[in-house]
Amino acid sequence: MTLILQYIRTIYLSIYCVDNILLSKKHNTNTTMATYDRAKAVKEFDESKMGVKGLSDSGIKTIPQIFIHPPQTLSNIKSSSKKTTSIPLIDLSNVNSPNHRPNIVKQIKEASKTWGFFQIINHNVHVSVLDNTIESIESFHNQPHEIKSKYYKREEGQGVMYASNNDLYRTNAASWHDSLQAWMAPKAPEAEELPGICRKEILEWDLHGSKVAEVVFELLSEGLGLESGKLNELSFCESRAIVGHCYPYCPQPDLTVGITPHTDPSAITLLLQNQVQGLQVEHDGEWVDVNPVHGGIIVNIGDFLQIISNGEYTSVQHRVLANSHKKSRISVVMFLNLSKWKGEGYHGPLPELLSPEKPPIYRDFTRQEFFDNFYSKGIDTKSFVDKVKIQN
């Protein structure tokens, strides 16, 4: 995923914006109109720098062809999600109480195994911090074209970016969302490049979110029967990327998607969302809605943790439907990633988890291999996990 690409190239913080032109060029979908020049249409859209929000605000009644997904992506887009089920809700209020902690660890372990997703409440971050972060991302996306377009960049490796159809989310058709992305790291000089309109709030959430992530990693370590600090030793919390998505109203939500099904390459991801529904998680072969819980923080397991936990935890596919509500859907995602620049070395299932009864189900791999993989592919497949899986 391009997150990882950025990760390779940008040690410190940057914000960027990209679109899926490059991929669109590679994956020109067949079209019934022989005259339709997809690459040209994508280029024009990109050069307009208006983003999906701009298109939506212009009052269009039909979406441009570049956003129309092939039937295979759309076939189950309307599949009714189980209304009675939802991802586990875990209350962290007594997380430091020796009486309650084992039960919380048990819940986290179970959720990470069966769902790959859970939602935490009473996590010690004031709800106003979460609300302000979401609102500031919304304000960024609501800015007039003249201001927002200054941040619009699509070349990889560039610093500041606001995104339309970020190529993190590339697929063979554009998806109906814009993003603003920030790389966070200690002493990041590029923090100055964050747009003024959401800078303060992003930095605030970065501070609190990192602490939440540390606690979650402790609980996940304990769930694996490891020392509490084991996963934090791998310093995922030092390599953070924050992405502020905006899914504006889509006039034809049955023809496109907000984000195509994918798993995250991170160790874990923290996600905030406003009250507009759209995120779905695959569970038992069905798509289940992730209902907004005010003040909740959604956590999901990424591919990297699935591998190093030797499959104890699961990185699960999720997607976002195109937004049929008039109000924009906003989500703020914090990826806690493997650090590219922390030396060389091999990764793979943690040796502490292996025994003759529990042999490794994934082989070891180098950091380079991990990053090269995400550099070269989109987010639509889970190929790295499949690639390192030991076949027997």
Q: Of Fe ion, ligand AKG, none, which one does residue 2 interact with (CB within 5 to 8 Å by kind)? A: none
Answer for which of 264, 282, 303, 380 binds ligand AKG (CB under 6 A) is: 264
Q: Is 217 helix (H, G, I), strand (E, B) or coil?
A: helix
Q: Read out DSSP for 74-104?
A: HTTTTPPPPSS----EEE-TTTT-TTTHHHH
Q: How many residues does the chain have?
A: 392
- Residue least distant from ligand AKG (Cβ): 331
Q: Of ligand AKG, Fe ion, none, which one does residue 331 interact with (CB within 5 to 8 Å by kind)? A: ligand AKG
- 206: contact with Fe ion by CB under 5 A: no
Q: How far is the CB of 104 from ligand AKG (least distance, A)?
A: 24
Q: Which is nearer to Fe ion, 206 or 264 (CB)?
A: 264
Q: Is 197 helix (H, G, I), strand (E, B) or coil?
A: helix
- 380: contact with Fe ion by CB under 5 A: no
Distances in Å between the Cα of 361 and the Cα atoms of 112, 116, 354 are 18, 18, 10
What are residue 333's DSSP bridge partners?
A: 243, 271
- 322: contact with ligand AKG by CB under 6 A: no
Count of Cβ atoms closer than 10 Å to residue 68 Cβ: 17
Answer for which of 138, 222, 264, 282 binds Fe ion (CB under 5 A) is: 264
- 267: contact with ligand AKG by CB under 6 A: no
- 282: contact with Fe ion by CB under 5 A: no
Q: In the chain, what's the furthest Cα-to-Cα distance?
A: 69
Count of Cβ atoms closer than 10 Å to residue 97 Cβ: 11
- 320: contact with ligand AKG by CB under 6 A: yes
Distances in Å between the Cα of 128 and the Cα atoms of 199, 205, 210, 335 are 16, 10, 17, 21
Q: Of the listed pieces 14-22, 48-56, 94-102, 271-279, which binds ligand AKG according to CB under 6 A?
A: 271-279
Count residues near ligand AKG (CB under 6 A). 11
Residues in touch with ligand AKG (CB under 6 A): 243, 245, 259, 264, 271, 273, 279, 318, 320, 331, 333
Residues in touch with Fe ion (CB under 5 A): 264
